[in-house]
Amino acid sequence: MLDDSKCQKAAFIDDGFSNWKKAVQRFKGHEQSDCHRNAVMKTAYTSAGVNVVSGLSKAKREEMAAAKSALRKIVTSIVFLARQGIAIRGKTEENSNFRQLLSLRAEDADDLRSWLARSQYKWVSHDIQNDILHQLSDSVLHDLIIGIKAADYYSIMIDETADCSQHEQLVICFRYCDNELHIHEVFTGFYELAHQDAATLFTVVRDVLCRFNLDIHRCRGQCFDGAANVAGSLNGVQAKLRDVESRALFVHCASHSINLVVQDSVSSIPAYRDAFNTFGTLIAFVRDSPKRLRIFESLQHTDAKALRPFCPTRWVLRESALTVVKVNYLELWRFLDEISASDKTDAGAKAAGFSSQLSKFSTYFNLATLVHIFNTLGTVNQAMQASNLHLQQASKLLSNLKSLLQSFRNNFGEIWKAVTDEACVLGIDAPVIPRTRRAPRRLDSGPDGHSFTTPEEFYRQTFIALIDTALGGIEGRFSSDTWTFLAEVESALVSQPVTTAVISDFYGSDLNGDRLDLHVSMFHDLMRQQGKTVTSLGDIVDILKADATIRVLLPELTTAVRLILTIPVTTCTAERSFSGLRRLKTYLRSTMSQSRLNHVAVLNVHRELLDKTDIDAVMNDFIDRCPVRRNTFGK
């Protein structure tokens, strides 16, 4: 079948027109054709006495300028949608966010309106969108990799999660310390996994390093959660990476470790374990029914916070949910009594059981002490999530946490008085010693166990057991080889006389041991002359960061500090990207391809770099890839 445009051209130029039934339609089509426009233009130039060739060249330049202006609006529209994490496509192409945004912008831009009225070659298709997204993403990643390479040394942080389509996604982030001792943690993309074993994960890591042209022997740290496939000391990713580069120190994510300390502590004390289960079930009981939730909200104060569900994985984050229960304790109690009296179904029976639990002093005591402890743990956990945190600061936070927990243990009398006073105001039953359950005579193998003389003594024993378990967990989970090495490094840099062999022996070719000793000695001499006291690695970091002249004067010490700061503390940067993944790949966008997801995620996370991207350079690269584009847009 012949093309309609060719038939029209032949009818009006060579053969003659004969299809008079569709004359008006054909005439209008011919008026929009390139051959008619060119003929009119040539006739106008001839009538005006202007050289036709030069006139056509000028018209072509103007046409290219208008086309390039329209292309810029197409590219910047994609930039806006990707930056804000808004879906580009829709159920249909015409109703997509991208097309609707272009239509809106065309109302104020004649060049874009004319461009969208074209019959072909609009460069707004799905493939073109992907091409532009790819170029923008590569531009942002290029800037990120330049920073990593300029730092000489880097660390990696990886974590896994499942997206809404149940595909396992691996996220890889890098951490590095620049020449001014500023710490950077950067997200580089998601990678779909076919398998989750250590060999597959390590292969993906090596492929990413190869793609970014990063030398694996420049890796000085690695941080994962406690899963065996990554943290295993024999066959995990950390073991495979250390087989290749022994200086890549492994850190079990500090925030994850604190969460495990809380989980183990609460689970090991039956009273607190049961209280946790009671409050979690109670919150679900209220929230799972719109009717019950509305009744409870009617009993709350106007400015009261809403009930929050327990975080299923992060025990530390359950502090906010427990705090809301404590603040709304009386309102919850009244709500349960109302439901118990009015509802004759199983819900009424459950409400009566919960009300009976809330009337007990033991329930309120467990809640109040958990909130008291969790407030402290939550504050430390929040501080641990900072991307610029280094191991020495994390060590100091843990030391302060242990001191606070120890003070809770020593000052139980004050906590007891505060809790009993609050319970009295709420009308809760007075504290009593729980009845001791006697063992059957046939199982009685000795004297009776310890008997408590006062309720305070009984509850003190439960509270101290929780504190001691938490202190033991912190001591056990933060005593790895890496934390021990950090303590030795800090001692070597702070103590005098200076002996930094532990640092230079470990890092080998990264440092010159003799020069490091000299520069550390010179640093302490300078500090004595300036009247400054250096007691920790943090003091050294602060001084070097504030004074560029000292960094230039003592490069070996600066390099040693940079190596230590490169070691990551948590994988929170990787985990934060999961929030972005859930915003970008929703059930409405579940069929998004992996490459498009990766490009959009990079642009959405690194918005500040996207804002600095040279749009003209991206457009020129886009135009150079195809002769048709070069002929349409020019350079």
Chain segment 476-512, per-residue pLDDT in tens: 888 888 888 988 998 899 888 878 899 999 999 999 9
| Angstrom distances, CA of residue 326 to CA of 55, 372, 406, 423, 461 | 82, 11, 24, 11, 22
- Give me the residues paired with residue 155 across strands: 175, 221
Which pLDDT band holds residue 1 (cuts at 50, 70, 90)?
A: very low
210: phi then psi, degrees, rounded to nearest 5: -65, -40
With a cut of 70, say whether residue 9 has pLDDT above it. Answer: no
DSSP bridge partners of 222? 156, 250
CA distance 551 to 179: 9
CA distance 305 to 308: 9
Question: Could you count the other beta carbons within 10 Å of the beta carbon of residue 554?
Answer: 22
For residue 26, the one-letter residue type is R
Q: Which residues, at least 6 apart from 221, have a Cβ–Cβ distance to it below 8 Å? A: 154, 155, 156, 175, 248, 249, 250, 251, 566, 567, 568
Q: Is the pLDDT of residue 45 over 60?
A: no
Residue 306: its pLDDT value, please?
A: 86
CA atoms within 13 A on the CB side of 367: 26
* % the chain with pLDDT above 70: 89
Q: Per residue in 249-261, pLDDT tens?
A: 999 999 899 989 9
Taking 80 as the threshold, does the pLDDT of residue 274 lie above it? yes
Average pLDDT along the chain: 87
Give the strand order in the sheet containing 168-177.
183-192, 168-177, 154-162, 219-224, 249-252
Q: Where are the alpha helices (DSSP H) in 184-231?
A: 198-211, 228-231
Q: Which two tokens stand for residue 450?
A: 């310890």
Stretch 71-91: mean pLDDT: 91
- What DSSP element (H or E) covers 249? strand 249-252
Whether the per-residue pLDDT at 92 is higher than 90: the answer is no
Over 80: is that where the pLDDT of 445 sits? no
CA 474 – CA 479 distance, rounded (Å): 8
Query: CA 247, CA 481: separation in Å to the nearest integer?
Result: 12
Q: Are 140 and 613 in contact (CB under 8 A)?
A: yes
| Contacts (Cβ under 8 Å, ≥6 apart) of 617 | 139
pLDDT in tens, 150-199: 999 999 999 998 888 888 999 999 999 999 999 999 999 999 998 899 99
Rounded to whole angstroms, the Cα distance separating 160 from 191 reads 9
Helix, strand, coil fractions of the chain, as percent rounded to 5: 65, 5, 25
Give the sign of the dihedral formed by CA 226, CA 230, CA 236, CA 240.
negative
Where in the sequence of the chain do the CATH 3.30.420 domains occur?
A: 131-252+579-624
If you write DSSP's letter for every residue of 472-508 in order, what string do you get? HHHHHHT-SHHHHHHHHHHHHHHSSS---HHHHHHHG
| Residue 325, pLDDT above cutoff 80 | yes
How confident is the model over 456-473, as a mean pLDDT? Answer: 92
Task: Report CA 399 to chain centroid distance, whole Å.
Answer: 27
Give 21-26's long-range contacts (Cβ < 8 A, gap of 24+): none
The answer to whether 156 and 222 have CB atoms below 8 angstroms apart is yes
Cα(17)–Cα(26) distance, integer angstroms: 9
Task: Select from 483, 504, 261 the least CA-distant residue to 390.
Answer: 483
Mean pLDDT of 362-375: 92
The CA distance from 367 to 328, in Å, is 12
Confidence of residue 613 (pLDDT cuts 50, 70, 90): very high
Residue 55 pLDDT exceeds 90: no
CA distance 225 to 467: 24
What gap in Å lies between CA 466 and CA 67, rounded to an integer? 71
Provide the sign of the torsion angle of the four alpha carbons 68, 71, 73, 76, taken in this order: negative
- Compute the radius of gyration of the chain from its Cα atoms: 34
pLDDT band at 243 (very low <50, low <70, confident <90, very high): very high
Rounded distance, CA 325 to CA 282, Å?
9
Other Cβ atoms less than 10 A from the Cβ of 368: the count is 19
| Helix (H) / strand (E) containing 223 | strand 219-224
Of the listed ranges 13-17, 200-204, 500-504, the least confidently predicted one is 13-17
Q: How far is CA 52 from CA 39, 48, 60, 336, in A?
A: 11, 10, 12, 90
Cis peptide before 497 (omega within 30 of 0): yes
Name the band, by pLDDT with cuts 50, 70 and 90, for residue 2.
Answer: very low
Assess contact for 628 and 122: CB atoms under 8 A: no
The least confident of 286-290, 414-418, 495-499, 531-535 is 495-499
**How many whole angstroms from its chain centre is CA 545?**
27
Of 183, 102, 130, nearest in space to 387 by CA = 183
The mean pLDDT value for 407-429 works out to: 92
Comparing 359 with 61, which gets the higher pLDDT? 359
Least trusted range by pLDDT, from 44-53, 236-245, 537-546: 44-53
Sign of the CA dihedral 442, 447, 448, 449? negative
Backbone angles phi, psi at 92, to 5 degrees: -130, 160
Fold of the CATH domain 131-252+579-624: Nucleotidyltransferase; domain 5 (3.30.420)
Inter-residue long-range contacts of 577-581, CB under 8 Å, 24+ positions, other chains counted:
577/171, 577/173, 577/187, 577/190, 577/601, 577/605, 578/159, 578/161, 578/171, 580/85, 580/604, 580/605, 581/161, 581/163, 581/169, 581/171, 581/190
| Inter-residue contact 581 to 169 (CB < 8 Å) | yes
User: What tokens were used for 94?
Assistant: 């015409």
Asked if 278 contacts 363 with a C-beta cutoff of 8 angstroms, the reply is yes
The tens digit of pLDDT for each residue in 369-383 reads 999 998 888 888 888
- Is 90 exceeded by the pLDDT of residue 557? yes
Burial class (CB in 10 A: 0-12, 13-18, 19+), 313: exposed
